[in-house]
Amino acid sequence: MALNWFYQLVVLGLLQYEIYPLKVSLILVTSL
């Protein structure tokens, strides 16, 4: 159970770091 919580925490942390570049790439694609 604790491992599942830790895994979710890591995934959320990675998503937070990935969301910004993803938004930037989406803005660049839509601006084309």
Q: What DSSP assignment string belongs to 1-32?
A: -HHHHHHHHHHHHHHHHHHHHHHHHHHHHHH-
pTM above 0.75, yes or no: no
Identity of the residue numbered 1 = M
Where do the domains of the chain lie?
1-32
Q: What is the pLDDT of residue 14?
A: 84
Question: Of the candidates 23, 3, 26, 4, which has an alpha carbon nearest to the alpha carbon of residue 15?
Answer: 23
pLDDT digit string, tens, across residues 1-32: 678 889 998 888 888 888 888 888 888 899 87
Note the Cα 31 to chain centre separation in Å: 22
**Which two tokens mark 20?**
């910004």
The pLDDT of residue 1 is: 64
Q: Output the pLDDT for position 20.
A: 83
